[in-house]
Every structure is written in structure tokens, then in C-alpha cells.
Amino acid sequence: MGCKMYLVTHEQEYLDWAIKCYDYMLNVLQDKSDHLFYDNVRPNKDDPNLPGDIETNKYSYNSGQPLQAACLLYKITGEQKYLDEAYAIAEACHNKWFMPYRSKELSLSFNILAPGHAWFNTIMCRGFFELYSIDNDRKYVDDIEKSMLHAWSSSCHQSNNLLNDNDLRGGTSKDSWEILQQGALVELYAQLAVLERGNR
């Protein structure tokens, strides 16, 4: 948010806070062994200004936000370290939250978004789209696009025009949906449509 506010206002305070927050995530919440990010940290019981216990679960949105932030910081500052960090985070996200898949509907093999929380995954994908806006490398965007094309073409797409948001591979039935999850998938289709319209 700090980066986006800076891009709109050019007020240095927003950028300063964006860098502080990003550095905090890197120093406190990033698992250096795989470049992914832990879910949260609680305040220290003795000094609430210091980090305390870290919740070590890793969800796709926890790493997607820093991925997008690294891309935005690179765009703003031009500092290579942010782009290097973005590449490391992107590769780690792709390794963890995508899986090899063969789509008979598309007659293609690719890495599909793994079963999980659609909204979390969409937040992660915002980071991939931001990275693509820098390097024009479709590696990750292609897998997102194929995931969504497969979802629409397969049994994941229900007769009511809703998707099985838990598992884009299809093959499982669903009888209830949440607007948060469906809206997240609509966002992915919209992002892909913007790229398609721009011949990107």
C-alpha cells in the first residue's frame, strides 16, 4: 500500500514506510531457507516493540504481498536488489503453490495452481503480474492463464457458471460457494483479459 500511495502522491513518507515494512518482513518473517514468508508474528511479551513468537505456517498470500512489494520498490527505486528478491520469491512461490498437471481439456501439460484458498492464491498472483510488467517473461503468467482456461473448460466449471474454487483441476463436486473466493477468480480472469487486450 505504501508503494502505491507513493506512486500516486510522490510523498517520500509513503516510500519510507513501504521500505521499512518490506525490510521488516524480510528480516522477521522470511524463511531464508526457501524465500517464503511465515504467516505472522506476535508482539514480544516483554517489549511489544520487538517481535515475539512467529506463526510458521506459510500461505500463498504471505509471500505474494512481498513479491508485489519487491516489484514496486524496484520500479520506484531502480535498485537491483529488489528485483533479485522478487525473482527469488516468485520462483519459491511457483515451486510451492503450483503443481505439474496434464489437462485433457486443453491437451497441454503445465503447472496448475495447486488446490487451496482462491483468494490467497489471487493475492500471490498479483505479485506474478507485477513481475511480468517489469520483465515481460510469461513463465508464471502462462501457468496462471492455463490454470484458468482449464478451470473454465473442465468439470471445475459448474453448470451455474461458478468454479470449484478449492481445486481448479476439477473432478470434485461443490454445492456452496463464497463470493470472496469467486471474486478472487474473477480478478484473475480480469487481469488476464487486460493482458490479452494489450496483446501481452
Tell me what pLDDT residue 36 has.
98
- Does the pLDDT at position 16 exceed 90? yes
Tell me what pLDDT residue 171 has.
74
Tell me what pLDDT residue 137 has.
97
- Does the pLDDT at position 41 exceed 80? yes
The predicted-structure confidence for 145-190, as pLDDT tens digits, reads as follows 999 999 999 887 777 888 888 899 987 777 788 999 999 999 999 9
Tell me what pLDDT residue 48 has.
84
Tell me what pLDDT residue 10 has.
96
Burial degree of 159 (CB within 10 A; 0-12, 13-18, 19+): exposed
**Alpha carbon distances (Å) from 44 to 40, 41, 53, 54:** 13, 9, 7, 10
**Average pLDDT taken over every residue of the chain:** 94
Burial degree of 187 (CB within 10 A; 0-12, 13-18, 19+): middle
- Tally Cβ neighbours within 10 Å of residue 5: 15
Burial degree of 94 (CB within 10 A; 0-12, 13-18, 19+): middle
Tell me what pLDDT residue 156 has.
79
Tell me what pLDDT residue 34 has.
98
Q: 3-class SS at 157? A: strand
Reported as a pLDDT band with limits 50, 70 and 90, residue 50 is confident
Fold of 2-197: Glycosyltransferase (1.50.10)
Q: What is the amino acid identity at position 46?
A: D
Sign of CA dihedral 134, 137, 140, 145: positive
Tell me what pLDDT residue 12 has.
97
Q: Taking residues 31-56, what's their average pLDDT?
A: 92
The predicted-structure confidence for 71-130, as pLDDT tens digits, reads as follows 999 999 999 999 999 999 999 999 999 999 999 999 999 999 999 999 999 999 999 999
Q: What angle separates helix 60-77 from helix 118-135, to the nearest 10 degrees?
A: 20
- Does this model's pTM top 0.75? My answer is yes
Tell me what pLDDT residue 198 has.
86
Tell me what pLDDT residue 78 has.
98
Tell me what pLDDT residue 174 has.
77
Domain spans of the chain? 2-197
**Alpha carbon distances (Å) from 156 to 8, 27, 178, 179:** 39, 39, 15, 16
